[in-house]
């Protein structure tokens, strides 16, 4: 098969999108996509469940997420004009599964966006407790929607600096850890040392169930790693940039996740780390940074804003794609299948932002916020179904006539692809083990079965 758009460095892709993202934007987006607020806020909880063996969980999960990215990368390398990897599900598994994945992914992203905008308000209220949450949410939505609406280059620039803040914070933590270990730094419970990790090491210090439970927590810390694949049709020279971004994922996982966890557990024995507060705050306070809590609050605020920025970008592209493939008059009337003069799907972004804004109302109504947290938990489970369908689509692609033999190939796909699918199923089963995720797992199962059947019937024979 001949290379489609051989160099692919022209200013617009075949779908009308402007290739405004440069290599540095994509590299930072790829890093930022692997570092969520979960690492800054949730590390203490996951460490408390299984101690130093949490590093193993992060590595195992990271390996399988990398395999998924290799599969997505291979398909996007073959056709870099696709807006999103979801298109390959439609292409290789049929319109039914494509319809299911397109809407499921958009809805899941919307609920993630709602969770992110709620978090943004909480972080701002740390400094300004008197400000009403709904007003903070609306201001951030308007600001970030504007960033997305102007041009993709502005979005890339904002994401670049959001990502940089997260990276600098983690490198700061790792540097603090190295300094404390080398100087035998005295802590309230002893000294900073690598022995804090090695001494009394057990693979399952709280039993194997706690160890297994951490997989779903770590899995969702990696959620949105696929986001870099959605930028392909708006990246200059994607065939050079995308493989580079994906190849560096394992190194980034080792540096940012494993490095941060090793630093935390070397400074303080893992049983001494806070469970319900950020261990990052505790470490920076030990290092003499009196305003550590405010610093980490600023970092998680930018991390949540970055996640919301990316969500608005993704939801806009997905809704635009759904509208393009749909023959719905309503979508056509709302102009959801149109691009602005700068090549941005403005109507789709605006509608997505309006739907996310509903969360501002939800949190004001008593009793509804509980139902909202349930739906958010359910959407996380639906993500696993979409990832699984993506891997199946990749297997079909390998057997199709479009398979590019000289493309960016996933290694040993016949073994690694089914192993990745088996891992995703294992993570889904893990959702049923914890009380906090059990109801969400049931909700996700109901959605997958009912909407899956509806989607198949809707496109029966197509």
End-to-end C-alpha distance for the chain, whole angstroms:
26
CATH of range 23-456; options 3.40.50.510, 1.20.1740.10, 1.25.40.90, 1.10.167.10: 1.20.1740.10
Residue 14: pLDDT band by 50, 70, 90 thresholds?
low
User: What's the rounded Cα separation, in Å, for the pair 283 and 177?
Assistant: 9
| pLDDT of 10 strictly over 60 | no
Beta strands in 222-346 (DSSP E): none
User: What's the rounded Cα separation, in Å, for the pair 105 and 84?
Assistant: 11
Q: Write down the domain spans for the chain.
A: 23-456
User: What's the rounded Cα separation, in Å, for the pair 318 and 107?
Assistant: 10
The CA–CA distances, whole Å, from 188 to 282, 283, 286, 295 equal 11, 11, 9, 22
| pLDDT of 197 strictly over 90 | yes
Burial class (CB in 10 A: 0-12, 13-18, 19+), 145: buried
Q: What is the DSSP letter of 110?
A: H
User: What's the rounded Cα separation, in Å, for the pair 430 and 203?
Assistant: 18
- For position 226, what pLDDT does the model report? 87
User: What's the rounded Cα separation, in Å, for the pair 45 and 373?
Assistant: 19
- For position 35, what pLDDT does the model report? 73
The CA–CA distances, whole Å, from 142 to 20, 124, 351, 395 equal 22, 16, 12, 41
3-state secondary structure of 235: strand
- List, as own/partner pairs, every contact residues 245-250 make where C-beta atoms lie below 8 angstroms and the sequence separation is at least 24, other chains included: 245/26, 245/27, 245/29, 245/30, 246/30, 246/66, 246/69, 246/70, 246/73, 246/408, 248/27, 248/30, 249/30, 249/34, 249/62, 249/65, 249/66, 249/69, 249/225, 250/62, 250/63, 250/66
For the ranges 13-27, 85-99, 137-151, 295-309, which has the lowest average pLDDT? Answer: 13-27
Q: CA angle, 203 as apex, 202 and 207 as ends, to 5°?
A: 95
Between residues 17 and 401, which one has the greater pLDDT? Answer: 401
How do residues 241-280 score in pLDDT, each as one tens digit? Answer: 889 889 888 888 888 889 999 999 999 999 999 888 889 8
User: What's the rounded Cα separation, in Å, for the pair 71 and 388?
Assistant: 11
**pTM of the prediction?**
0.90
- The per-residue pLDDT of the chain, averaged, comes to 88
How do residues 330-379 score in pLDDT, each as one tens digit? Answer: 888 888 888 888 889 999 999 999 999 987 777 677 666 666 666 767 78
| pLDDT of 15 strictly over 70 | no
Quote the distance between the C-alpha of residue 400 and its chain's center.
29
Residue 2: pLDDT band by 50, 70, 90 thresholds?
very low
What are the backbone angles phi and psi of residue 84, rounded to the nearest 5°?
Answer: -155, 155
| pLDDT of 448 strictly over 50 | yes
Q: Using alpha carbons, select from 378, 418, 384 the residue that is nearest to residue 398.
A: 418
- For position 336, what pLDDT does the model report? 87
- For position 370, what pLDDT does the model report? 63
The DSSP result for 28-78, as a single string, is HHHHHHH--HHHHHHHHHHHHHHGGGHHHHHHHHHHHHHHHHHHHHHHHHH
Residues 226-253, mean pLDDT to the nearest whole number: 86
């Amino acid at each position: 098969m001949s290379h489609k758009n051989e160099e692919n460095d022209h200013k617009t892709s075949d779908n009308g999108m402007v290739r405004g993202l440069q290599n540095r934007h994509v590299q930072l987006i790829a890093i930022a996509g692997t570092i969520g607020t979960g690492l800054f806020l949730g590390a203490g909880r996951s460490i408390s469940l299984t101690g130093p063996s949490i590093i193993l969980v992060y590595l195992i999960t990271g390996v399988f997420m990398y395999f998924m990215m290799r599969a997505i990368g291979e398909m996007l390398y073959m056709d870099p004009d696709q807006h999103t990897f979801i298109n390959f599900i439609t292409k290789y598994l049929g319109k039914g599964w494509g319809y299911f994945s397109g809407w499921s992914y958009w809805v899941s992203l919307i609920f993630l966006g709602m969770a992110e905008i709620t978090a943004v308000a909480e972080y701002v209220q740390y400094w300004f407790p008197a400000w009403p949450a709904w007003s903070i949410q609306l201001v951030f939505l308007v600001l970030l929607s504007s960033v997305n609406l102007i041009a993709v280059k502005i979005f890339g620039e904002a994401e670049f600096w959001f990502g940089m803040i997260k990276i600098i914070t983690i490198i700061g933590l790792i540097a603090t850890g190295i300094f404390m270990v080398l100087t035998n730094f005295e802590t309230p419970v002893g000294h900073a040392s690598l022995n804090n990790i090695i001494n009394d090491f057990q693979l399952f210090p709280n039993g194997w169930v706690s160890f297994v439970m951490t997989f779903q927590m770590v899995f969702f810390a990696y959620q949105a790693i696929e986001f870099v694949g959605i930028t392909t049709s708006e990246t200059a020279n994607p065939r050079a940039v995308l493989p580079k971004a994906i190849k560096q994922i394992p190194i980034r996982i080792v540096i940012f996740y494993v490095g941060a966890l090793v630093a935390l557990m070397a400074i303080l024995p893992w049983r001494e780390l806070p469970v319900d507060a950020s261990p990052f705050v505790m470490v920076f306070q030990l290092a003499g940074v009196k305003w550590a809590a405010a610093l980490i609050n600023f970092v998680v605020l930018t991390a949540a804003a970055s996640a919301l920025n990316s969500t608005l970008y993704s939801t806009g592209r997905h809704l635009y794609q759904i509208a393009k493939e749909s023959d719905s008059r309503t979508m056509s009337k709302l102009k959801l299948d149109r691009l602005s003069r700068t090549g941005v799907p403005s109507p789709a972004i605006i509608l997505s932002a309006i739907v996310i804004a509903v969360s501002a109302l939800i949190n004001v109504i008593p009793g509804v916020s509980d139902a909202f947290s349930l739906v958010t938990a359910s959407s996380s489970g639906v993500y696993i179904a979409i990832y699984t369908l993506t891997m199946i689509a990749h297997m079909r692609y390998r057997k199709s006539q479009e398979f590019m033999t000289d493309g960016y190939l996933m290694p040993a796909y016949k073994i690694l692809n089914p192993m990745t699918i088996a891992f995703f199923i294992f993570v889904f089963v893990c959702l049923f083990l914890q009380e906090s995720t059990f109801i969400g797992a049931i909700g996700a199962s109901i959605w997958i079965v009912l909407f899956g059947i509806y989607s198949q019937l809707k496109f029966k024979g197509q």
